[in-house]
Amino acid sequence: MTHRILILGGTTEARQLAGKLAARADLSVTLSLAGRTESPVAQGVPVRSGGFGGADGLAAYLRETGTDLMVDATHPYAAQISANAAQAARAAGVPILALRRPGWEPVDGDRWTPVDTVGDAVRALGPAPRRVFLALGRQEVAAFEAAPQHHYLIRSVDPVEPKLDVPDASYLLARGPFREAEERALLEKHRIEIVVSKDSGGEATYGKIAAARALGIEVVMVRRPDLPDVPSAETVEALAALIDQLGVDHFL
């Protein structure tokens, strides 16, 4: 019997997990994307795109499609969809697993200022003008209009539209992974004095953290949001192994 698995994605790991599970003949895998990125990379499995309409909409989708298992493999800062997923799983009686990559740990030489929110990150830059690298999603950068005295270098996958209402900002379009050597060259070229980052975890975006450490540059690190407590694994391999060893029936 084929089991239907819905993977909530938008991350490299979600795509990798989907590919791994899709290779199994007994599983039918659908990957769900929010539909924010204009040209997402090919996912290699059937994809549905766009919001579900809150937790109720997601619960209805789970029922209508006869989904047997849901995997929340969204980004650690995508707190809304994770909360919706946990709630919808309960409502629809569908088991849920989460893929939660661990955050980074500071090491010797790191100069991190941890803050709770992007708004706190804006304030942490201080009153004096500084040259700031914003490695945040395009939705978050608007908050920095509250501190127009700084120079901003803003990197995003899709263009930031509208542009920030500040006198001095430059924009860079790029998609990771980003290696340390390239990140170091970028920070040096733009004479960056401070980096604002999420604690995304994983390798793909760690280059800027390592580069900032090498250059003695401060990093304002926005802490992770609270996520619902559901059974989880930290890596693609561990999550796939969980499903392999226990079988989907175990979760039903």
Ligand X SMILES: NC(=O)c1ccc[n+]([C@@H]2O[C@H](COP(=O)([O-])OP(=O)(O)OC[C@H]3O[C@@H](n4cnc5c(N)ncnc54)[C@H](OP(=O)(O)O)[C@@H]3O)[C@@H](O)[C@H]2O)c1
Size of the site for ligand X (CB under 6 A): 24
Binds ligand X (CB under 6 A): choice among 45, 70, 81, 243: 81
Distance between CA atoms of residues 101 and 71, nearest Å: 13
DSSP state of 101: P
Distance between CA atoms of residues 231 and 239, nearest Å: 10
Closer to ligand X by Cβ: residue 60 or 215: 60
3-state secondary structure of 238: helix
Distance between CA atoms of residues 5 and 212, nearest Å: 40
Give me the 32-61 binding string for ligand X, x by CB under 6 A, dash otherwise: xxx-x--------------xxxx--xx---
Hey, which residues between 154 and 193 contact ligand X (CB under 6 A)? none
Binds ligand X (CB under 6 A): choice among 5, 6, 10, 239: 10
Other CB atoms closer than 10 Å to residue 9's CB: what's the count? 27
Buried b (16+ CB within 10 A) or exposed e, 182-217: ebbebbeebebbbbbbbbbbbeebbbbbbbbbeeeb
Closer to ligand X by Cβ: residue 28 or 197: 197
Q: Across the strands, what pairs with 47? A: 31
Q: Which stretch binds ligand X (CB under 6 A): 80-88, 105-113, 114-122, 177-185?
A: 80-88
Nearest approach in angstroms of CB 122 to ligand X is: 16
Closer to ligand X by Cβ: residue 79 or 143: 79
Closer to ligand X by Cβ: residue 37 or 149: 37
- 74: which residues sit within 8 A by CB, 6+ positions away? 8, 9, 10, 11, 14, 81, 82, 85
Binds ligand X (CB under 6 A): choice among 3, 15, 75, 184: 75
The sheet that has 131-135: what strands, in order across it?
Answer: 112-115, 218-222, 194-198, 131-135, 151-156, 169-173
Radius of gyration of the chain (CA): 20
Hey, which residues between 93 and 152 contact ligand X (CB under 6 A)? 137
Binds ligand X (CB under 6 A): choice among 17, 78, 98, 233: 78
Other CB atoms closer than 10 Å to residue 221's CB: what's the count? 22
Closer to ligand X by Cβ: residue 8 or 151: 8
67 touches ligand X (CB under 6 A):
no
Nearest approach in angstroms of CB 63 to ligand X is: 15
77 touches ligand X (CB under 6 A):
yes
Q: Which stretch binds ligand X (CB under 6 A): 29-37, 92-100, 122-130, 177-185?
A: 29-37
Question: What are the residues binding ligand X (CB under 6 A)?
Answer: 8-11, 32-34, 36, 51-54, 57-58, 74-75, 77-81, 84, 137, 198
